[in-house]
Amino acid sequence: MQYDVVVIGSGPGGYVGAIRCAQLGLKTAVIEKYKTFGGTCLNVGCIPSKALLDSSEHFHNAAHTFQTHGINLKDLKVDMPQMIARKDDVVAQNTAGIQYLFKKNKIDSFQGLGSFVDKNTIKITKEDGTTETITAKNVIIASGSKPTALPFLPIDKKRIITSTEALNIKEVPKEMVVIGGGVIGLELGSVYARLGTKVSVVEFMPAIIGTMDAGLGKELQRVLKKSLGMEFYMGHKVTGATAKGKRVTVTADNAKGEQVKLEADYCIVAVGRTAYTEGLGLENIGIKTEERGNKIPVNAHLETAVPGVYAIGDVIKGAMLAHKAEDEGVYVAETLAGQKPHINYNLIPGVVYTWPEVASVGFTEEQLKEQGTAYKAGSFPFKASGRAKASMDTDGFVKVLADAKTDEILGVHMIGPRAADMIAEAVVAMEFRASAEDIARICHAHPTYTEAIKEAAMAATDNRAIHM
C-alpha cells in the first residue's frame, strides 16, 4: 500500500486526525475536494462566523455602550466590504496554517473528489476531470456536512440563502428572516441585528437552542430581544418563501394554524446540517447511510461495517461540532497505532457564540428529571458579579447540577460573558469527576467571570453562595 492512512476531507476532524496519524509514524495522505483546506469550519463556518461576530460586536458596543464608558464618537458607520475583507483574511490565515502543518508533518495532500474503488483504493477526480488512484491500509472518512434544505423552500443563494452566503452579504440589510432558532441561525442573526438589521427568527419548536438546558434558551431569547430588538416567532411552521426582486416573503403557520407573512431583504435557512456523502462511492464497498441525516453507521471504535474504513465528525452520529470531530480524529489515529484512547461524549461542550455567549456540558436539568436522577441545582447571576458589573455584561447566569447524594457534578450550564472559554473549567472538573464542593473550595481569582462558577457550585452545596 502507498499509505498507512488516507483521510478524505480536511476539516477539523480530517486535518487533526491526519496530523495525529503522522505524529504516530503512519504514512498519511489527505484528499480535499475544494481548493483550500479546513472544510466547512475554517472556510464557511466556525472561523468566518466568529470573525463577523467579533466585528459586529465592536460596532454594537461603539454605538451603544462606549458613551457610558466615557468614549464619545460621531459619524459611526459600517464599512461592510472591509468587514467582509477582514473575515476573508482571517480565513486565509487559518487555511494557510493547515497547509504549513501538512508540510511540517510530511503529509501528502491531493486536491479532488475522493471516492472508493474498493476499501483500499481511492480514486481522486480532479477539477479538470483527470483522475489518479492511491491505496491505503486504512481510510478515514471525514467529509463533513452541508446545510439542510427544506424540500418546499428552494434556495436561490441570492435572497433565500444558507449560512454560507450569509457570510458574504456586502451591505447591511434593513430586514432579515432567519428560519431556525438553533446555533447557526442565532449567531448569524445576531451579527446583522448588531449592525442595525431588523431580524425575525422563525422556529418550529417552542424554544430556541432546544437541545440545551431550557433555562439557557429562555434567557438568551430575552436578552436578544432586549438588546438587539430581535423578534421571535416560536411554534411557527414555515410553509414557503418566495423571492421577487430584492425582497423575500416568508409564510408560516402559527400554533393556531393561522398564516403569518414576513417580508425581508434576505431569508437565511438555518434548519440544521446533513452529512455529506455524495460522490464518495460508498456503494462500491457496501456502506449504507442512515435514512435520517444521511449518517454513516460506525461501531464504538468509529469503524464502519467495512474493516479498515473509519468515519468521524459530522458524517457520523452525534453533535455536529468541530471539537467533537477533532477528538474523533485523534481517537482513530491512536486506535490505529495500537493505543487505547477514550472519548466521553457526555463531556463534549456545546457553545453558542452570541453575546452573551452560551455554553453547556453534561446533563441538562430536563434530562436528569427524565432519568429520575436525584439532583441539586445551584445558580448564580452575573448581575451579582463584580467583574461583570465592571464590563457592563450583567445578563445571564451559571447553573451547576450535582448528584443529590454524592455531590458529583452532573452538568454545568451558563449564559454570560466569555462563557465559551469558561466552560472548560467545568469540562476539566467533570472529566476528573469532581464534586460541586471541589469547585466551591478552589480559589478563583478576583475579579473574574469564573467566580460565578464557584458561587453557583456553592449554591448547589447547602445554598451557601456568598454574593447573593
Q: Can you state the angle between helices 80-104 and 12-23, rounded to 10 degrees? A: 20
Between CA 440 and CA 458 the distance in angstroms is 5
- The annotation status of 265 as a binding-site residue, yes or no, is no
442, with CB counted inside 10 A (0-12, 13-18, 19+), is middle
According to the annotation, is 272 in a ligand binding site?
yes
What distance in Å separates the CA atoms of residue 242 and residue 152, rounded to the nearest whole number?
Answer: 11
Strand-strand pairing, 108-111 and 357-362 = unpaired
Whether 320 has a binding-site annotation, put simply, is yes
16 labeled binding residue = no
Q: Is the peptide bond before 154 cis (omega within 30 degrees of 0)?
A: no
Question: CA-CA distance, 66 to 76, in Å (whole number)?
Answer: 12
176 is an annotated ligand-binding site residue: no
Give the start-end residues of each E strand in 119-246: 121-125, 131-141, 145-147, 160-161, 175-179, 198-203, 231-234, 237-244
Tell whether 393 is in a known binding site.
no
319 is in an annotated binding site: no
Would you say 181 is a known binding-site residue?
A: yes
To the question of whether residue 203 is assigned a binding role by annotation, the answer is yes
How large is the greatest C-alpha to C-alpha distance in the chain, in angstroms? Answer: 69
Q: How distant is the alpha carbon of residue 131 from its chain centre?
A: 34
Question: Is 342 marked as binding a ligand?
Answer: no
150 marked among binding-site residues: no
The catalytic position among 58, 69, 301, 446 is 446
- Cell readout for 186 is 442565532
426 is in an annotated binding site: no
Q: Establish whether 184 is an annotated binding residue.
A: yes
Q: What is the DSSP string of 287-334?
A: ----TTTTPPP--TTSB-SSTTEEE-GGGSSS---HHHHHHHHHHHHH
58 catalytic residue (yes or no): no
Task: Show binding-site residues.
Answer: 50, 114, 180-187, 203, 272, 314, 320-323
Residues forming the active site: 446
Q: Which residues are annotated as a binding site for NAD(+)?
A: 180-187, 203, 272
User: Which residues are annotated binding-site positions for FAD?
Assistant: 50, 114, 314, 320-323
